[in-house]
Structure 1
């Protein structure tokens, strides 16, 4: 892990030195927009009178209400490549910006697992209307609500309107074992497993029945969110969604990561080692009972030396990444084929914005035509890296470009779009678990624990920003 950090710092330093000799060559990246000719028709509030509505296509909504997607992204001059943008996401210090405080609620799932829902603003500091829009956030591979890329959107979105924010509420769903959430069953999480976000959505909808729910996913969380929205179809409880740096085709991405020395040595090893560190931290919980297939995979996983992502998935995640069925899978490739989200895009039935970068070293495929689905829009920049998009603000501070278009999108779909009731299938309680009528395997209930969480404190031993 340390060697990976040092290598990243070396690349970053060399890139800065090269850039000194090219600093006058400013780069501009105008996002390319991909929207089906027959885009979905969306009902929006008329600007002349909030009681009147009119129809807009998805293209109209984006072009009129998300102007940042029609303007240039100008990367900071010394982060001129996708590698440098990605490296800075890992090694940069973001502890003093976009500070967020959360209230955490722990949820126990039907299989005995635990999820951590982080709410902001804390109710003890500010009360919001019961119909205030809610952003439901899914983080990246081994991240959580503390990640700088999460806070880059959550902080401004949840500031009061009179302080320049949107006045929204955000709920970050922390996966099992991430961001201080305990592991309480022999199961972890994965890019394709959607039952945990489904259970969390039961709880969120029951707790806030009048609030529009807006999905926001980053990297691995973007893949989970895409699959969830597609699986729910017309019954999706989310009114709209946005995904950033989604990995889409996991088979092709794995082949690209493992087939290139730099990508395998830096990116794949960093991702695999991060996941190995999560297993090490929760080894005792994952090893109970000893006869469980997941428990038997723990020791071989911990014995791996600087595993790549594919090696980790072959050894552990194909077995432990979700409930049975469909887990375990016979191979990592079989798991990747099942978990990929690009094939699910034609089934999305809510306004859906995807943002990606052509030079993302982790994501090799951008399915920009989305199966000609009129609900899906793609915005793609030539530069930005993986969860990077760093540019200089008017005050000289380095900020992420994607914050502006994402906030514009969230305002458009949360405030301007007419959101009809989206309760989903009826819910019921059985033995304290909240479940959908007609389905008994997915559900949740509140568990002991939680409390106030500082949004800038990550976990030691893990590379941030992934």
Structure 2
């Protein structure tokens, strides 16, 4: 009966927002010769290469609103689908912190050409490369072409302390701190200088990606970006989470619980820095019985969510105002696709006009929840993420269709063992021991997935 109802479900056609006129992008011609390239409007580029955005999304009949779609993202069993394994590389940053790069396919599985497009992924709040929403994109993107995939390489940037990455300094991560993705991209571009780098971020990671792209401007090493379920205006969206009883008691507390558990796992590591304000704040947040996201951020993130300056912030609301990405969106200078659902219970304020930025295509579905977009498959009980379709189409379009762009990329050099960008000495990274093989479906037990 449920399958029959699903057949009657109204198709949700995304609303697409472009600046008028949209930017023109340089696309490849019949050959890779620069002489064969031509200019095409971003709107035409998306329309011709991302048909799923125009064909629509049909939500599974039993996941008919944003709360149910979001809940299924958390409690659904995705261990049997989208299996992705990785090789992990650990990077040490100048402040002593550690970030983890998980690369797929593993080197013992197959070898890819050096110019293979690379999908650089930023995960959500307390996620990592194991998250089902990450694997839902990387599985089709990194499956060999002869098996129906794109044949790309995927590299997930796991934030400090997430997905088993150790905490080695009294600094965490946040929605606004971009230096870790900056050095990660620096490392990836140095290792694969011939490969086009395509950025995609989910939720908090989408916010970080948007800010990074905006800050880099014409010097960006990524040739395109995609933001999925980005929280954009952190002040307004956090305020709505606080003001509504249901959102506060379910979503704000669930996210805070994840962060609280994550801090508990690293309390011993942080104890090695007894005089740091972050370490001193940990016992209070660990003892809290009813913690919301804003209370956690007011105690922990506004102190240790990034380097100084601008951290620490007086309150979480000062941090939210600084870290928001909605106003930064106007400064992005690479082709950029944003996808949000109107019924997302966590993200309810969407900057669809993108500050008039002609490089942005902003797609909004009526349904889908937060990192959900589940639709019924061909058989009863088969549920898949619709959002994988337009995202993979976008990755194929920008990875294979764009011609080389004129960008002002700064050269790199190695100073005292750290890879740095010439002219900038405050950030850098180097590989350190650790890492190994990572099985994506195993995940990080004890934390709610999908947030």
Q: Please give the range of the TM-score, normalised by the shorter of the 2 chains.
A: over 0.9
Asked if residue 427 in structure 1 is aligned to residue 387 in structure 2, the reply is no
Partners of 2:264 and 2:432 in 1: CA distance: 24
Tell me if 1:436 matches 2:421.
yes
Is 1:278 aligned to 2:283, yes or no?
Answer: no
1:239/1:422 contact within 8 Å kept:
no
Tell me what 1:407 maps to.
392
Mapping for residues 213-252 of structure 1, pairs under 5 Å: 213-252=197-236
8 Å CA contact retained: 1:238, 1:422: no
Structure-2 residue corresponding to 1:4: none
Compared CA separation, residues 79 and 452, structure 1 to 2 (3 A)? same
Q: Contact (CA 8 Å) 1:20, 1:78: kept in 2 or not?
A: no
SS in 2 for 1:450: strand
Partner SS for 2:436? strand
Indicate which of 41, 61, 68 corresponds to 2:24. 41
Give the aligned partner of residue 318 of structure 1: 302
Structure 1 residue 24, shift from structure 2 partner = 7.3
Give 5+ residue unaligned stretches, structure 1.
1-15
The farther-off stretch of 413-422 and 84-93 is: 413-422
How far has the Cα of 1:288 moved from its partner? 2.6
Residue 456 of structure 1 aligns to a residue whose secondary structure is helix
- Report what 2:12 is aligned to: 29
SS in 1 for 2:86: strand
Q: Is the 2:128–2:158 contact (alpha carbons within 8 Å) kept by the matching residues of 1? A: yes
Counterpart for residue 3 of structure 1? none
RMSD between superposed Cα atoms in Å: 1.6
SS in 2 for 1:342: coil
1:371 aligns with 2:355: yes
Q: Tell me the TM-score normalized by structure 2.
A: 0.97
Corresponding position of 1:456: 441
User: What are the superposed Cα offsets for residues 114-160 of structure 1, whole Å, 9 maximum, x if unpaired?
Assistant: 00000000112111110000000000000000000000000110011
2:185 to 188, 201, 204: 201
TM-score of the aligned structures, taking structure 1 as reference length: 0.94
Number of residue equivalences: 448
Partner of 1:117: 101
Following superposition, the deviation at residue 287 of structure 1 comes to: 2.7
Partner Cα distance (1:226, 1:395) in 2: 37
**Structure 2 runs not aligned, ≥5 long:** none
Runs of 4 or more above 6 Å deviation: 19-24
Q: Name the CA shift for 1:23/1:211 in 2 (closer, same or farther; >3 Å).
A: closer
- Residue 327 of structure 1 is matched in structure 2 by 311
Tell me which residue corresponds to 2:431.
446
Q: Secondary structure at the residue paired with 2:212?
A: helix
Counterpart contact for 2:6–2:60, Cα < 8 Å: no
Residue 142 of structure 1 corresponds to 126
Indicate whether 1:269 and 2:249 are aligned.
Answer: no
Measured in 1, the distance between the counterparts of 2:6 and 2:421 equals: 57
